[in-house]
Amino acid sequence: MTNSSPEDRVRGAGIVTTTLEAVSEWARSRSMWQLAFGTACCALEMMATNASLIDLDRFGILPRTSPRQADFIIFSGTITFKLVPVIERIWDQMPDPKWAIAMGNCSTSGGIFYHDSYSVLKGVDRIVPVDVYISGCPPRPEALVDGLLELQRKIAAGTDKKEPIRL
Ligand code: SF4
């Protein structure tokens, strides 16, 4: 016979209480399908991140070639005005809920093309809401992994999309 309280005995039995919503958000954050899409040189770092050295599969992140089955997109490179209608169509084809990462200075703000360029969009967030910004020219794979983990945390927490994360 022990003197422990009923709460202690329940705790000792390994019982966890949570909500269905919390489990759903957590599961969603650990099964993210990435649209395979690149626009410029940052895409090479994104491809390297998907390759065997980093191996995004272990985080539950898998590339997908159809926007209709993708959870998130990484804008990896310069966005020209010519690309804008393509990106808008791809984004519209992705089902809700969906997320976006701006990888590198070009997709974040136009980067080195911010001044004196007639053809480059000064930030993809002018056409699509961005959840995570990753600085760099280009960001290394480690920086992209950091951004992906931040996105996972954001999805798991059910954070409001209006609060982007800047790395
Ligand atoms: S940020 Fe640098 S590496 Fe990335 S697309 Fe722009 S110029 Fe290329």
Please tell me the predicted confidence (pLDDT) of residue 150. 94
Please tell me the predicted confidence (pLDDT) of residue 151. 94
Mutate which of 101, 105, 109, 135 to test ligand 1's pocket (most atoms within 8 Å of Cβ)?
A: 105
Domains and CATH numbers, the chain: 29-166 (3.40.50.12280)
Answer for the pair 75, 108: CB distance below 8 angstroms, yes or no: no
Please tell me the predicted confidence (pLDDT) of residue 127. 95
DSSP 40-64: STHHHHHHHHHSTTT-GGGGTEEEE
Residue 30 CA to ligand 1 center (angstroms) comes to 28
Which residue type occupies 43? A
Please tell me the predicted confidence (pLDDT) of residue 4. 67
Nearest to 38 by CA among 165, 136, 125, 138: 138
Strand ranges for the chain from DSSP E:
32-35, 61-64, 72-76, 99-103, 132-134, 165-166
Low-confidence ranges of the chain (pLDDT < 70): 1-4, 6-13, 159-162
Residue 145 CA to ligand 1 center (angstroms) comes to 17
Residue 103 CA to ligand 1 center (angstroms) comes to 9
Answer for the pair 109, 139: CB distance below 8 angstroms, yes or no: no
User: Kind and range of the H or E element at 156?
Assistant: helix 141-157
Is the Cβ atom of 70 under 6 angstroms away from ligand 1?
no
Residue 59 CA to ligand 1 center (angstroms) comes to 25
Q: Which two tokens stand for residue 79?
A: 């966005």
Please tell me the predicted confidence (pLDDT) of residue 159. 61
Please tell me the predicted confidence (pLDDT) of residue 158. 80
d(CA 50, CA 46): 6
